[in-house]
Amino acid sequence: MLRDRIVPVVVSSAHAQALSAAAGAAGGRLSMHLKLDTGMGRLGFVLPAELDQAAAAARLPGLDAQGVCTHFAMVEPERKPTAAKGQAEKFRQALPALDAAAGRRLFRHMSSSRAALLLQDCDQDAVRVGISLYGYGSADPAQRFATVPVLSWKTRVLQVKTVPAGFAVGYYGSYRTPAPTDLATLSCGYTDGYQRHLGNKGHVLIGGQRRPVVGRVSMNWISADLGPASGVRAGDEVVLIGEQGGERIWADELAKHCGTIPYEILTGISRQIERRFVG
């Protein structure tokens, strides 16, 4: 960590002592931030009970306390308006003691994407945006600025075949074509992160039109019902998430079909999927 100038977040006395010993053995001084548990119940020094321990960690040899942070458990003002405010107040009350222990004004941060969108008075010195970097945020109309999804997930049509009515598609024939139609096989499956719940529920975009995903999602393949005389050919672009021809499918839509949240859809996209950064 010293060599690569990695700044760890220290979450307990034991953690701080281990880093202090390691830094001392390496003959260096390790920059770090303190993590305070103000109500998340996860990592961090529990406030107010462990404030003295956090302050002691800031004074350990070999460590250079530069920042302090916390994380909100709930940022839905309409559901429980006092929850985030209570956590923020605990955080602020701890700052004088920690600044004194560190011998400097510590760099403060506590807002993630949702808090950054909804809680202006919690910005501090920085905000830790995650999912909002991809344009996803809060559906709350009171959010401070608009977000527009920018992530797209695309694949290609592998094969198109014309099939009769009653044609069984996929494992166990969970879908049968109601009429003669064109059927596309697409290069994507649950090994890529396209969730199995989307079989017979989700849609993809091909040729600027929404096409239903039919049959079960397989390991490497999904099928789409194109309708008759579709004109779709092997090699055509398929949009799983994103926009095409004025139509759009966002991660929120997939999440609703899967009974989950957009975070899980986006983080579930496999590392084996090629990433291209545009900007």
Residue 227: which region, alpha, beta or left (left: phi > 0; alpha: psi -120 to 50)? left
Q: Could you tell me the end-to-end alpha-carbon distance of the chain, in angstroms, rounded to an integer?
A: 31
**Residue 117 corresponds to which tokens in the numbers above?**
């969108």
Instruction: State the pLDDT confidence band at 223, using cuts at 50, 70 and 90.
Output: very high
Identify the domain containing residue 18 by its residue range. Answer: 9-134
Looking at residue 172, its pLDDT comes to: 96
pTM of the model: 0.85
Residues 195 and 240 in one domain: yes
Residues 89 and 158 in one domain: no
Residues 18 and 116 in one domain: yes
Q: Is residue 144 part of a domain?
A: no
Looking at residue 141, its pLDDT comes to: 62
Average pLDDT, the chain: 94
Min mean pLDDT across 26-30, 92-96, 114-118 is at 114-118
Between 253 and 113, residue with greater pLDDT? 253
Task: Count up the domains in the chain and report the number.
Answer: 2
* Cis, bond preceding 8 (omega within 30 deg of 0): no
Q: Is residue 233 part of a domain?
A: yes
Other CB atoms within a 10 A radius of the CB of residue 9 amount to: 14
Looking at residue 80, its pLDDT comes to: 64
Min mean pLDDT across 48-57, 137-146, 158-167 is at 137-146
Share of the chain above pLDDT 90, in %: 82
The answer on pLDDT for 279 being more than 90 is no
Residues 115 and 88 in one domain: yes
Map tokens 């281990």 to a residue.
Answer: 18
Map tokens 């940022």 to a residue.
Answer: 75
Of how many residues is the chain composed? 279
Q: How many CA atoms lie within 13 A of 251 on its CB side?
A: 23
pLDDT digits (tens, 9 = 90+) for 225-269: 999 999 999 999 999 999 999 999 999 999 999 999 999 999 999
